[in-house]
Amino acid sequence: MKNVIITGLIISVILACGISYFASKSPDGLEKVAEDKGFLHLGEGKEIFKAPMPDYTTRGLKNEFLSNSLSGLIGVLITFGITFGLGYLIIKRKK
Amino acid sequence: MHIPDGFLDTKTWVGFSIISALVIGFAIKKVNKEIADNSENERRIPMMGVMSAFIFAAQMLNFPVAGGTSGHFMGGVLAAVLLGPFTGILILTTVLIVQCLIFQDGGLTALGANVFNMGFIGSFIGYYIYIIVDKILNKSRIKYISSFFAGWISIVLAAAMCALQLSLSNTVPLNIALPAMVLVHALIGIGEGLITVIVLGFILKVRPDLLEIKKI
């Protein structure tokens, strides 16, 4: 099981840090529909808070590849950590 | 199809936030109970963590579809086929919360709607469509056709629900939003189906025992 976890995390890190930089920058399905049907402006500047790494970028890192990679790495570690951590907290409590 | 802040009106986002909170609460209760009842199920927790991380990473990979549009893998059916429909809801919810709070991908007010579309419809409903199609075909252990179809339709249905929410909010009329959303996501869904099949096929090849984990 340990190998599965490590392999899965390595694959995730490669996807998020190495390959994601080369992903399509075109608008996604909803964004494109919003653009075509004229309601994209409704969502512009309406964010009700400022996320720390907007659009998968790292503030202060000028190199776009590194900026994207670091945000991907942080995202992978946080999603893994939250799910794994909460899961074990629940078990501990039950015992 | 992460809905940003501003697209949904108050009644719609509040309504879907309440519905999704109930769905998540029920899913947590269900998964908790199964794990508490049988310590064998504990081994699914690290799997849930890896699945969340993988889906987060895969969702960063937008692939081009026709007409200057891109789409990305959602992973709802993949998560549910591997770990179960309730677990799938929780995995997608975790990914959506992290995307919203840290990366501004999907609005905070729209989080409930996004969880409903991608977690409940994309993973939970997608899973049962997979089960039904699989029963009808009842052919191979690999289940390529049923997982492809479920992946494809999970995207189309989630997009249709998104169109419904936009029209409920008076953002855009349903007769305009629905065909536009369904059409573009029918293309993106092909990518979803293919990636779901490729990942399941890969797991079947290297670690078929992982497909035997109890579905919760």
As for the ipTM of the complex, it is: 0.94
Angle at B179 between CA B175 and CA B185, to 5 degrees: 145
Of B70, B71, B98, the CB nearest to A79: B98
Partners of A53 on chain B (C-beta within 8 Å) are 102-104
Query: What digits encode the pLDDT tens for the residues A21-59?
Result: 999 999 999 999 999 999 999 998 888 888 999 889 998
Of A32, A37, A46, the CB nearest to B176: A37
Say whether pLDDT at A77 is over 60.
Answer: yes
Answer whether residue B186 is part of any domain.
Answer: yes
Q: What distance in Å separates residue A63's CA from the closest CA in chain B?
A: 18
Q: Where does the pLDDT of residue B181 fall: very low under 50, low under 70, confident under 90, or very high at 90 and above? A: very high
Q: Are B124 and B158 in contact (CB under 8 A)?
A: no
Of B47, B94, B184, the CB nearest to A32: B184
Nearest chain B alpha carbon to A40? B7
C-alpha closest to that of B82 among B150, B22, B32, B133: B150
Q: Where does the pLDDT of residue B55 fall: very low under 50, low under 70, confident under 90, or very high at 90 and above? A: very high
Report the pLDDT value the prediction gives residue B25, as an integer from 0 to 100: 94
Q: Write out the DSSP string of chain A.
A: -HHHHHHHHHHHHIIIIIIGGGS--S-BHHHHHHHHTT-GGGGTT--SS--SSGGG--TT---HHHHHHHHHHHHHHHHHHHHHHHHHHHHHHH-
Q: What is the DSSP letter of B213?
A: S
Nearest chain B alpha carbon to A80? B49
Partners of A82 on chain B (C-beta within 8 Å) are 52, 94, 97-98
C-alpha closest to that of A8 among B38, B49, B61: B49
Q: Where does the pLDDT of residue A93 fall: very low under 50, low under 70, confident under 90, or very high at 90 and above? A: low
Partners of B176 on chain A (C-beta within 8 Å) are 37
Partners of B207 on chain A (C-beta within 8 Å) are 4
Q: Where does the pLDDT of residue B142 fall: very low under 50, low under 70, confident under 90, or very high at 90 and above? A: low
Query: Which segments within B33-183 are labelled E, that is strand?
Result: 63-65, 69-71
Q: Write out the DSSP string of A20-37.
A: GGGS--S-BHHHHHHHHT
Nearest chain A alpha carbon to B189? A29
Total structural domains within chain B = 1
Average confidence (pLDDT) over B34-57: 87
pTM score above 0.90: yes
Answer whether residue B2 is part of any domain.
Answer: no
Report the pLDDT value the prediction gives residue B161, as an integer from 0 to 100: 97
Domain residue ranges in chain A:
2-23+49-94
